[in-house]
């Protein structure tokens, strides 16, 4: 009898305790910076899901900082104290621990623990490909053979494993920002046809963030400007008021290579000798090349044209317009158009670019 009474009492206390627990409705971020060189500086939480809009601010005290507030919907965010000290994390209600050093991962809340798991899985994939490259360097002296084996390993082993890892995180996190992060990585390695059904897996809130809407629009643009599609025209007004259109060069009866580039882009500058070689060889055989300077200041583009001794025509100050129309999210991006303006090939580089131009010019 006494035992039954005690059991009933304890059970009642447990139920009362459980009923009295309230969901966490605010966030507290406890942050640490490796040194106190930024004492007194103001830092911000920016929402990477919403065009880096600012959510909150605080001042650094010594080498620590604290944020407190309320977040209705978890978001992928970032705090940048300096070029060296920054961290990405999931802002959600609860206690979040951040250390602004690249070697440390966010912790505290469930989603930040999952984000840490995602980063760890990414690191393992990076280690895999680095290890394979070292192995091939030691085993194979011939550069061409080594590069071919690296390419085969990437295509047949590493890439499928990476995609499977990303799919796993997407499926587990389709209703939170980590699912969106995984999908944006998948968008790098998969075709629009492969990405679209994965977007459908995302919850409505995640799918409707400004960042994911940009991804959806980019995929739609890629579909509309895929190989075999007609070119999409655009007109850019220069700082002096003059105007230039893509149709000034494309669809004019010549093959046209269009190089979307910027002066600050190292790989773009590295591609210039390839374009120069192709231009010299085929400009009198029915090929035109035109550069389109995107995301760049006109003065910087003009200096690069001089420094790199570029002789083909340029459309300056194009900004974001071409990228949005053609679904370009990285440069250089070089597209080959047929004489009637049909898109023949996209994202051409190096030897592949030279081989494709040779194929269409010499077999026409």
The answer to whether residues 97 and 106 touch, using CB atoms and an 8 Å cutoff, is yes
Q: What is the biggest distance separating any 2 CA atoms in the chain, rounded to whole angstroms?
A: 104
pLDDT recorded at residue 22: 66
Residue 247 has what DSSP assignment? G
Provide the token pair at 3. Answer: 């035992």
pLDDT tops 70 at residue 49: yes
pLDDT recorded at residue 10: 46
pLDDT 10s digits, 53-79: 999 999 999 999 999 999 999 999 999
* Structural domains present in the chain: 27-107 (2.60.40), 112-225 (no CATH), 229-363 (3.40.30.10)
Distance of CA 68 to the CA centre of its chain: 29
Residue positions counted in the chain: 364
**Averaged pLDDT score across all residues of the chain:** 90
pLDDT 10s digits, 158-211: 999 999 999 999 999 999 999 999 999 999 899 999 999 999 999 999 999 999
Residue in 78, 111, 99 with CA at minimum distance from that of residue 211: 78
Q: Which percentage of the chain shows pLDDT scores above 90?
A: 79
Residue identified by tokens 């000034």 is: 248
Residue in 193, 165, 351 with CA at minimum distance from that of residue 271: 351
> Helix %, strand %, coil % for the chain, to 5?
45, 25, 30
The answer to whether residues 261 and 294 touch, using CB atoms and an 8 Å cutoff, is yes
Provide the token pair at 284. Answer: 């009198």
Half-sphere exposure of 87 (CA within 13 A, CB side): 25
Burial classification of residue 101, based on how many CB atoms lie within 10 Å of its CB (0-12 exposed, 13-18 middle, 19 or more buried):
middle
Residues with Cβ within 8 Å of residue 152, at least 6 apart in sequence:
none
pLDDT 10s digits, 276-299: 999 999 999 999 999 999 999 999
Q: How far is residue 290's CA from residue 236's CA, in Å, rounded to a whole number?
A: 14
| DSSP run (H or E) holding 313 | none
Q: What is the mean pLDDT of residues 261-265?
A: 96
Residue 83 has what DSSP assignment? S
pLDDT 10s digits, 92-113: 999 999 998 866 789 999 999 9
Please compute Rg for the chain using Cα positions: 26
Residue in 113, 120, 78 with CA at minimum distance from that of residue 96: 113
Q: How far is residue 333's CA from residue 287's CA, in Å, rounded to a whole number?
A: 18
pTM of the model: 0.80
The answer to whether residues 232 and 303 touch, using CB atoms and an 8 Å cutoff, is no
Half-sphere exposure of 24 (CA within 13 A, CB side): 16
pLDDT 10s digits, 223-258: 999 999 999 999 998 777 789 999 999 999 999 999
pLDDT 10s digits, 303-356: 999 999 999 999 999 999 999 999 998 899 999 999 999 999 999 999 999 999
Provide the token pair at 148. Answer: 């071919």
């Amino acid at each position: 009898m006494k035992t039954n009474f005690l059991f009933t009492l304890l059970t009642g206390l447990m139920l009362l305790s459980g009923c009295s627990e309230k969901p966490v409705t605010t966030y507290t971020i406890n942050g640490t910076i490796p040194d106190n060189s930024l004492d007194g500086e103001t830092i911000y939480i920016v929402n990477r899901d919403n065009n880096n809009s600012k959510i909150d601010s605080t001042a650094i005290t010594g080498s620590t900082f604290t944020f407190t507030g309320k977040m209705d919907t978890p978001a992928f965010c970032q705090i940048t104290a300096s070029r060296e000290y920054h961290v990405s994390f999931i802002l959600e209600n609860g206690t979040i621990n951040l250390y602004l050093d690249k070697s440390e991962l966010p912790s505290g809340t469930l989603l930040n623990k999952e984000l840490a798991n995602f980063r760890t899985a990414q690191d393992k994939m990076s280690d895999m490909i680095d290890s394979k490259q070292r192995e091939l360097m030691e085993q194979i002296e011939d550069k061409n053979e080594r590069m071919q084996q690296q390419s085969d390993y990437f295509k047949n082993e590493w890439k499928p494993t990476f995609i499977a890892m990303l799919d796993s995180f997407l499926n587990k996190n389709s209703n939170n920002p980590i699912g969106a992060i995984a999908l944006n990585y998948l968008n790098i390695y998969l075709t629009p046809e492969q990405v679209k059904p994965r977007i459908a897996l995302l919850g409505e809130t995640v799918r409707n963030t400004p960042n994911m809407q940009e991804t959806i629009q980019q995929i739609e643009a890629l579909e509309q400007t895929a190989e075999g599609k007609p070119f999409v025209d655009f007109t850019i007004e220069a700082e002096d008021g003059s105007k230039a259109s893509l149709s000034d060069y494309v669809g004019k009866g010549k093959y046209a290579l269009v190089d979307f580039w910027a002066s600050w882009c190292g790989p773009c500058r590295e591609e210039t000798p390839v374009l120069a070689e192709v231009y010299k060889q085929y400009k009198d055989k029915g090929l035109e090349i035109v550069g389109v300077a995107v995301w760049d200041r006109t003065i910087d583009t003009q200096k690069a044209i001089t420094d790199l001794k570029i002789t083909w025509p340029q459309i300056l100050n194009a900004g974001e317009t071409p990228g949005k129309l053609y679904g370009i999210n990285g440069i250089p991006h070089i597209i080959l158009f047929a004489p009637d303006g049909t898109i023949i090939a996209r994202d051409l580089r190096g030897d592949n670019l030279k081989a494709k131009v040779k194929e269409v010019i010499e077999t026409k």
